[in-house]
């Protein structure tokens, strides 16, 4: 299966440890993710007011690239655009839904982009890699597992952007299961906890670090209380807030005990036993030692 792929800015800078293992595990599952030619930043957060139409331009331009890939035969009849970063997934999806629901808006955007050779026809479907894997079936994942995650207890952290609002969520907004199913397929243990979709503080990390420190601490403490060894996520911003910000948590709360936070792709990579260099452990702030030798 060949899929057009939108990486987004962060995967090329601070979150290479999300992308590199993801591309490798996808390949082993028979999914070839082909990076869009000339992609541009999606804008990170979606604009929510009614009169900010032009702010949706950035996402829509990327959809043109998908149409072009199809036209050039790089992918065959593939209207799905796959993403890895939860924020990009959400922003692209929300813009896309708005275009699909409001032909007038789409028309305006197309008119504005008159220099583009193609017009966006509303046909693209923004997807995240996780549901693509779910569609393949967990059995397919199980088959690729070389080193089952025996005795490792994993807290699945969804954050906000994979689940909400409901019409772009990849799973039930209040009772998601997809990460837990993945962990089970990898041979790991899941925990049942209440913080899996509680916000980590998001972009407040830039100028209101304290909010993030408090929220992240609450999430990690809850994971610990429920017996987790490691937290997984698919969002580079959540990862930063939960992982790198542990430094700040420890400064404020000296008794705080750290916990590794890794990307779902790294966890899959470990279980698939992919090349060590591709796992990108060095990019994690809290070293996930429990995953080195188990």
Partner 1 sequence: MAKLIKLDDKGVEFLDKIMELSGETITLCDQCGTCSGGCPFIAEMDVNPSQIMRQVMIGQKNIMESKTMWICASCFTCTVRCPRELDVSKVAEALRQVKLREAIDFIDIEKISEEEARILPSIAIVGAFRKFTG
Partner 2 sequence: MKTGVYLCQCGGNISNTIDLPKIAKHVKEKKGDILIQENSHMCSGAGQKLIIDDIKNHGLEKVVVAACSPHFHEKTFRAALQKAGLNPYVLEISNFREHCSWAHKNEPEIATEKAKDIIDASIAKVELDFPLEEKKMQMGDEVLVIGGGIAGIQTSLDLADAGKKVTLVEKQPTLGGKMAILTKTFPTEDCAACIISPKMAAVQDHPNITLYTNSEIESIAGHRLHFEAKIKKNPRFILDTIDMDQCLICTKCVQECPIEQPNYWEQGIMNRKAIYIPAPHAIPYKYLIDKENCLHFKDGSCSICADVCPQKVIDFEQKAEFIDVAVDNVVVATGYDIYDATEKTVFGYGKYKNVVSALEMERIVDHISEKEPPREVGKRVAFVQCVGSRDKQIGREYCSRVCCMFSVKLASLLKQAKPETDIYIFYTDLRAFGKGYEEYYKRSQEMGIKFVRGKPSHFTEDPDTKQVIVTVEDTLSRDIIQSEFDLVVLANGMGLSAASEPIADQLKLAKSDDGFFKEAHPKYRPVDTLVEGIFLAGTAQGPKDIPDTVTQASAAAGRVLATLAQKEFSLDPVLAFVHQDICDGCKQCLNECPKKAISINADGKAEINEALCLGCGSCLASCPIEAIDLNYFTNDQMYAQIEASLSNKKEGEKRILIFADENTVYRLADACGVRKMKYSTDSRIFRIPSGSRMTSNLIKFALSKGADAVMIGDSPEKSSRFAWANNVTKENIKQVQSALNDLQIEPERLIFKEYSAGELARFTNDVDAIAEFLGTIAPIPNETRDKLFTAVRGE
* Binding region for partner 2 (CB under 8 A): 172, 174-175, 194, 225-226
Q: How far is the CB of 255 from partner 1 (least distance, A)?
A: 20
Q: How far is the CB of 49 from partner 1 (least distance, A)?
A: 5
Q: How far is the CB of 109 from partner 1 (least distance, A)?
A: 18
In the DSSP assignment, the letter for residue 154 is E
* Residues 193/157, Cβ–Cβ less than 8 Å: no
- Name which of 139 and 175 has its Cβ closer to partner 1: 175
- Name which of 7 and 176 has its Cβ closer to partner 2: 176
Q: Which two tokens stand for residue 178?
A: 């997809």
Q: How far is the CB of 211 from partner 1 (least distance, A)?
A: 5
- Name which of 79 and 226 has its Cβ closer to partner 2: 226
- Name which of 62 and 202 has its Cβ closer to partner 1: 202
What residue 226 binds from partner 2, partner 1, none (CB within 5 to 8 A, per partner kind)?
partner 2
- Name which of 143 and 247 has its Cβ closer to partner 1: 247
- Beta strand 2-6 with 32-35 is parallel
Q: How far is the CB of 168 from partner 1 (least distance, A)?
A: 9
Residue entry with tokens 């279980």: 271
CB burial of residue 175 (10 Å; 0-12, 13-18, 19+): exposed
- Name which of 226 and 258 has its Cβ closer to partner 2: 226
Q: If you count them, how many residues does the chain have?
A: 294
Q: Which residues pair with 34 in a beta bridge?
A: 4
- Name which of 172 and 273 has its Cβ closer to partner 2: 172
Q: How far is the CB of 175 from partner 2 (least distance, A)?
A: 4
Reduced to 3 states (helix: H, G, I; strand: E, B; else coil), residue 39 is coil
- CA 175 from chain center: how many Å? 18
Distances from the Cα of 249 to the Cαs of 78, 196, 252, in angstroms?
A: 44, 19, 5
What residue 194 binds from partner 2, partner 1, none (CB within 5 to 8 A, per partner kind)?
partner 2
Q: Nearest 5°: phi and psi at 199?
A: -60, 140
Q: Rounded to whole angstroms, how far apart are CA atoms 8 and 129?
A: 14
What residue 225 binds from partner 2, partner 1, none (CB within 5 to 8 A, per partner kind)?
partner 2
What is the Rg, in whole angstroms, of the alpha carbon atoms belonging to the chain?
A: 19
> By C-alpha distance, which of 134, 155, 160 is closest to 82?
134
Query: Residue numbers of the site for partner 1 (CB under 8 A)?
Result: 8-10, 13-15, 41, 43-52, 85, 87-88, 160, 163-166, 173-174, 197-199, 201-207, 211, 214-215, 236-237, 240, 244
What residue 21 binds from partner 1, partner 2, none (CB within 5 to 8 A, per partner kind)?
none
């Amino acid at each position: 299966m060949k899929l057009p792929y939108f990486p987004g800015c962060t995967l090329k800078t601070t979150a290479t440890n999300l992308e590199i293992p993801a591309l490798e595990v996808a390949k082993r599952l028979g999914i070839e993710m082909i990076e869009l030619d000339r992609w541009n930043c999606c804008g990170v957060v979606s604009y929510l007011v009614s009169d900010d139409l032009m702010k949706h331009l950035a996402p829509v331009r990327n959809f043109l690239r998908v149409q072009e890939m199809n036209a050039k035969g790089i992918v065959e009849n593939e209207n799905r655009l796959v993403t890895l970063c939860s924020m990009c997934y959400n922003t692209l999806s929300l813009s896309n839904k708005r275009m699909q629901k409001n032909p007038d808006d789409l028309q305006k955007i197309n008119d504005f982009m008159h220099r583009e050779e193609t017009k966006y026809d509303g046909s693209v479907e923004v997807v995240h890699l996780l549901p693509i894997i779910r569609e393949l079936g967990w059995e397919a994942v199980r088959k690729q597992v070389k080193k089952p995650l025996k005795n490792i207890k994993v807290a699945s952290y969804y954050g906000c952007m994979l689940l909400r609002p409901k019409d772009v969520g990849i799973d039930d907004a209040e009772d998601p299961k997809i990460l837990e199913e993945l962990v089970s397929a990898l041979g790991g243990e899941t925990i049942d906890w209440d913080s899996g979709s509680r916000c980590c503080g998001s972009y407040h990390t830039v100028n209101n670090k304290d909010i993030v420190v408090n929220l992240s601490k609450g999430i990690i403490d809850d994971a610990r209380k429920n017996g987790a060894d490691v937290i997984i996520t698919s969002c580079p911003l959540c990862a930063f807030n939960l992982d790198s910000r542990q430094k700040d948590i420890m400064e404020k709360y000296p008794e705080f005990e750290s916990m590794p936070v890794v990307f779902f792709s790294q966890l899959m990579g470990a279980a698939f036993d992919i090349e060590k260099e591709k796992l990108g452990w060095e990019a994690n702030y809290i070293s996930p030692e429990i995953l080195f030798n188990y």
